A and B are shown apart, each in its own frame.
Chain A
Amino acid sequence: MMNNRRAHPPGPHAPAPGPAVHADRLTVLRGARRVLRDVRFTVPRGQITGLLGPSGCGKSTLMRAIVGTQAKVTGTLEVLGRPAGSAPLRSRIGYVTQAPSVYADLTIRQNLHYFAAILDPGRAAADRRDHDVTRAIADVDLTSHADSLAGNLSGGQRNRVSLAVALLGTPELLVLDEPTVGLDPVLRRDLWDLFHRLAADRGATLLVSSHVMDEAERCHRLLLMREGELLADDTPEALRTRTGAQTVEEAFLHLVDEATAQRTAGKETVR
């Protein structure tokens, strides 16, 4: 097995060794407020990790820290074996913000062609870019709309254009901030199928945030967050077993109660 791997250098299909993301004592300040407190977790490669928690718990901040766009980050945060935000990572990570960040006055194809030219510039790469753009549009099922202006699309469609941009250049790590919000159930299922294909066929690591707990069951691993702290870092199954709950939602509630009880107990001991 080891010899085998050495014979074939790790390509996109054989995940490289080491975790995709490793955080230790990660703290983020916004003003005087600590938006993330001493967070510690690991995101394994080639899997879908769900980042779940109520709105405002720090999910987006954590994702921005991983992508390297968040200021005032302290502690250890390693992404694909390098410190988060370092320049060589910029072409290896695909990032989708909550609000679709595409140009409303360009067509879908023009949007993708521009971002492709930033990722993979030069005239020599033109054919590769064409192929990449066509594939990304097909991935998010917008081929029939490819020449529509992004500004004329529905909110859900524009979100998918934003996702398509992140798929350009076959990134090793995809950081998706609430990619399924506001989508109908059929589209949501299709996107989750796409996420699983990306992990299984292209060996991509996905970190997907959501505040809808029923999406948790579709992830390989879960990070549960609340008020800037990490409540759990485990598989959905292990979480249910550990807490004796039927669903991840129940497990989450159980963990929240447990954490609150611990905190009150802690305060009483201090007194």
Chain B
Amino acid sequence: MTTTTADATGRTLTYSRSTATAARVLRQLRHDPRTIALMLVIPCLMLLLLRYVFDGSPHTFDAIGASLLGIFPLITMFLVTSIATLRERTSGTLERLLAMPLGKADLIAGYALAFGGLAIVQSALATGLAVWFLGLDVTGSPWLLLLVALLDALLGTALGLFVSAFAASEFQAVQFMPAVIFPQLLLCGLFTPRPDMHPVLEAISDVLPMSYAVDGMNEVLRHTDMTTTFVRDALVVAGCALLVLGLGAATLRRRTA
């Protein structure tokens, strides 16, 4: 009995360390309103731009717009997380935190919570704008679009956290964006359906998580209810996010040379 209570207390304390970390990350961002504005406004502006680029072919806007709703949160969260964790590593605050009673999982959960929350706001704004004002024609529920966007944001956070371990400076961290994100962007089916690609590229695209993010968005676009393909896509993105978060946790070392 006592052990269960102690365990429960221990877990609650772990949760409150994660929420304290999330609150801290958001508080840091609050002192930087320009970054928040950029994160929230740019996806909306891009969708607006896209809507009028495809003024003559609304179907193209539907397909690309829905895919972009999944890609924006991934890219933004990748950039924000990789820079934020790199700063945490170089400023010595990571060493200080790991010398304190903070679990690596607590820290990562804190980051995921903060940036996940921000991603919800970003995706809600972009999805709302696209569906209600720009006439994006979605057959399924916009809530499912939001769900995929959130999973993509988590995947972006996870990838950013992971690559920050291999970046020695902000310059390198920013260069990881084209290295990690652009190939996925080219192969995810945004530019041409994946089955039309060279078989080798199609096979590669089958193992890249962004392909499933875009597939999932397109499922919502075309079907009224949750299809099994959609469920598979969502699970693959979520699984990849968790896997990469685990890899990211392994790069946080308490003892360093």
* A contacts, CB < 8 Å to B: 30-31, 67-72, 85, 87, 90-91, 93, 95, 97, 99-106, 110, 114-115, 117-119, 121-123, 149, 165
With a CB–CB cut-off of 8 A, which chain B residues contact A103?
24, 28, 91, 93
With a CB–CB cut-off of 8 A, which chain A residues contact B20?
114, 117-118, 121
Given A104-B91, A106-B31, A117-B16 in contact, is the A69-B98 Cβ separation under 8 Å? yes
Q: Are B16 and A30 in contact (CB under 8 A)?
A: no
Select the stretch in B44-52, B127-135, B174-182, B249-257 that faces chain A: B249-257
Select the stretch in B58-66, B99-107, B115-123, B163-171 that faces chain A: B99-107
A232 to B255, CA, bound (A): 28
Residue of A nearest to B107 (CB): A118
> Does B232 touch A at the CB level, under 8 Å?
no
Taking a contact as CB atoms closer than 8 A, the residue among A30, A85, A95, A119 that contacts B255 in the complex is A85
With a CB–CB cut-off of 8 A, which chain A residues contact B21?
114, 118
* B contacts, CB < 8 Å to A: 12-14, 16-17, 20-21, 23-24, 27-28, 31-32, 91-93, 95-102, 253-257
A115 to B154, CA, bound (A): 25
Q: Are B100 and A101 in contact (CB under 8 A)?
A: no
With a CB–CB cut-off of 8 A, which chain B residues contact A90?
99-101
> Closest CB-CB distance, B89 to chain A, in whole Å?
11
A103 to B26, CA, bound (A): 12
> Closest CB-CB distance, B119 to chain A, in whole Å?
20
With a CB–CB cut-off of 8 A, which chain B residues contact A72?
257
Q: Are A69 and B91 in contact (CB under 8 A)?
A: no
A67 to B16, CA, bound (A): 24
List 10 A-B residue pairs with CB atoms under 8 Å apart, sorted by A's residue number. A68-B254, A68-B255, A71-B256, A90-B99, A97-B95, A100-B92, A103-B28, A106-B28, A118-B102, A122-B16
> Closest CB-CB distance, A104 to chain B, in whole Å?
7
Taking a contact as CB atoms closer than 8 A, the residue among A91, A101, A105 that contacts B95 in the complex is A101
Q: Are B92 and A122 in contact (CB under 8 A)?
A: no
A149 to B255, CA, bound (A): 30
> Closest CB-CB distance, B222 to chain A, in whole Å?
44
Taking a contact as CB atoms closer than 8 A, the residue among A87, A100, A118, A121 that contacts B97 in the complex is A118
Given A104-B91, A106-B31, A114-B20 in contact, is the A119-B101 Cβ separation under 8 Å? yes
Given A87-B101, A97-B95, A104-B91 in contact, is the A69-B254 Cβ separation under 8 Å? yes
Q: Are A69 and B257 in contact (CB under 8 A)?
A: no
Q: Are B12 and A101 in contact (CB under 8 A)?
A: no
Residue of B nearest to A98 (CB): B92
With a CB–CB cut-off of 8 A, which chain B residues contact A68?
99, 254-255
Q: Are A149 and B96 in contact (CB under 8 A)?
A: no
Residue of B nearest to A73 (CB): B255
A25 to B255, CA, bound (A): 20
With a CB–CB cut-off of 8 A, which chain B residues contact A118?
17, 20-21, 97, 100-102
A97 to B96, CA, bound (A): 8
Q: Are A122 and B96 in contact (CB under 8 A)?
A: no
With a CB–CB cut-off of 8 A, which chain B residues contact A165?
96
With a CB–CB cut-off of 8 A, which chain A residues contact B12?
122
> Closest CB-CB distance, B165 to chain A, in whole Å?
15
Q: Are B28 and A71 in contact (CB under 8 A)?
A: no
A110 to B21, CA, bound (A): 12
Q: Are B100 and A122 in contact (CB under 8 A)?
A: no
A168 to B14, CA, bound (A): 19
Taking a contact as CB atoms closer than 8 A, the residue among B24, B97, B102, B253 that contacts A110 in the complex is B24
Residue of B nearest to A168 (CB): B100
With a CB–CB cut-off of 8 A, which chain B residues contact A30?
257
Q: Are B255 and A122 in contact (CB under 8 A)?
A: no
Q: Are B93 and A123 in contact (CB under 8 A)?
A: no
Residue of A nearest to B102 (CB): A118
Q: Are A115 and B100 in contact (CB under 8 A)?
A: yes
With a CB–CB cut-off of 8 A, which chain B residues contact A123?
16
> Closest CB-CB distance, B150 to chain A, in whole Å?
25
Given contacts A67-B99, A117-B16, 16 further A-B pairs with CB under 8 A are A30-B257, A71-B256, A91-B101, A97-B95, A99-B92, A100-B92, A102-B91, A105-B28, A106-B27, A106-B28, A114-B21, A115-B96, A118-B17, A118-B101, A119-B100, A121-B14
For B16, B31, B93, the residue with the greatest tally of chain A CB atoms inside 10 Å of its CB is B93
Given A30-B257, A117-B16, A117-B17 in contact, is the A149-B31 Cβ separation under 8 Å? yes
With a CB–CB cut-off of 8 A, which chain B residues contact A31?
257
A117 to B27, CA, bound (A): 14
Taking a contact as CB atoms closer than 8 A, the residue among B31, B32, B101, B254 that contacts A85 in the complex is B254
With a CB–CB cut-off of 8 A, which chain B residues contact A102?
91, 93
Given A97-B92, A110-B24 in contact, is the A105-B101 Cβ separation under 8 Å? no
Q: Are A71 and B13 in contact (CB under 8 A)?
A: no
> Closest CB-CB distance, A174 to chain B, in whole Å?
13
